[in-house]
Structure 1
Amino acid sequence: MRGDLDRAAQVLQDATNGRWRELVQNRGVPFWIEARDNLAELYRQMGRIEEADAIDKNLLRLLAVADADHPVLVRIKARRGKA
């Protein structure tokens, strides 16, 4: 599976899509946020910019009150040129 971006994206999509409530109840939010960030990055590598931007927008909303140095927040801002 190494180098198979389509498969990697599908695994991350399957692992996170529609699972917010389940993960919140099981304290899996940090995993979900990291996985969605990874999916956005994969989408960018695959040229799926609109999908990546939609994920970033959602994550930015969720991280609105996070510390400025939160790793995912830092990566998203760097991708958007707002570091």
Structure 2
Amino acid sequence: MIRLAELMAADLPADADPVQAEVDAQYRALTEVRAVSAEEFRAIGRSCVDNEAWHAAYERVAPGLAAYQRDAVEAYATARLS
């Protein structure tokens, strides 16, 4: 979360290469446990905003980070998993 917050603070869009590299690391960590479909990964991204506890955790790190994570995951899933 901290690295994404830094990238967000640097005004990088969610689909920027450095942001996508961070999301790629997250996706790869998940797939070490089990296969994760594009839709499942998108659902995880949406949960950053929709799940109250997750949203609060992201927003404690940086205001707007939950939506930024969601958008970054969506961009990743569209570009690399679809």
Larger Rg: 1
Question: Given the two structures, how large is their TM-score scaled by the length of structure 1?
Answer: 0.36
Higher helix share: 2
Larger RCO of the pair (alpha carbons < 8 Å, separation 6+): 2
Calculate the TM-score normalised by the size of structure 2. 0.36
